[in-house]
Amino acid sequence: MDIKTFCHNFKGHLTTINAHKIAVMKHCFKVGLYKQGLLHDLSKYSPIEFIPGVLYFQGDRSPNNAQREAEGFSSAWLHHKGRNKHHYEYWIDYSLAHNNNLAGMKMPVKYVVEMFCDRVAASKTYYKENYTDAISLEYYNKGHSHYVIHPESDALLKKLLTMLAVKGEDYTFRYIRKKVLKNM
């Protein structure tokens, strides 16, 4: 990679993760998750995540996918999902109830809500002017067949994504604040 491309990718990747982080923070603040909004995705600034992000930056999709295609796995993603509790992959463990198969563990509600905020912000970041309130649900449904997520966590996330698609952002964030997180 030449220096001009590296500088372009560096600026593009930093701009993308900053825009995403700010969008998630705003969404988390709307529902009352202030600490999670402030701390969201800080690991993306660590060298193990940031450098591959620059090297595989494309601007219209996650560089983790490009790294996965080029190297067979994404070291940035493995690091990221192991440190950020708003990813259902963080909660995969061996199940005592299912012959020690891998299974999704039930996520605390506040992390399911942060995951919802993260997915909405990612859709806005990558789809830009083509974003609609239905895109996050469509993206979730498209990949759902391979998700290893606890049924209750999955049901809550899908309910919120569906609510967003049908009733819009203001209604959904108000519902989350008043009904989902009412005791937090």
- The mean pLDDT value of the chain amounts to 96
pLDDT of residue 99: 78
Cα–Cα distance for residue pair 108/11, rounded to 1 Å: 35
Residue 167 has pLDDT above 80, yes or no: yes
Mean pLDDT of 157-180: 98
| Contact (Cβ atoms closer than 8 angstroms) between residue 67 and residue 52 | yes
Instruction: Spell out the domain ranges in the chain.
Output: 3-180
| Contact (Cβ atoms closer than 8 angstroms) between residue 63 and residue 17 | no
Please give the structure tokens belonging to residue 17. 């993760």
pLDDT of residue 60: 85
| Contact (Cβ atoms closer than 8 angstroms) between residue 117 and residue 24 | yes
For residue range 93-151, list pLDDT tens digits in order.
998 886 779 999 999 999 999 999 999 999 999 899 999 999 999 999 999 999 999 99
Please give the structure tokens belonging to residue 86. 């708003």
pLDDT of residue 98: 67
Question: pTM of the full predicted structure?
Answer: 0.94
Sign of the four-CA dihedral 146, 152, 154, 158: positive
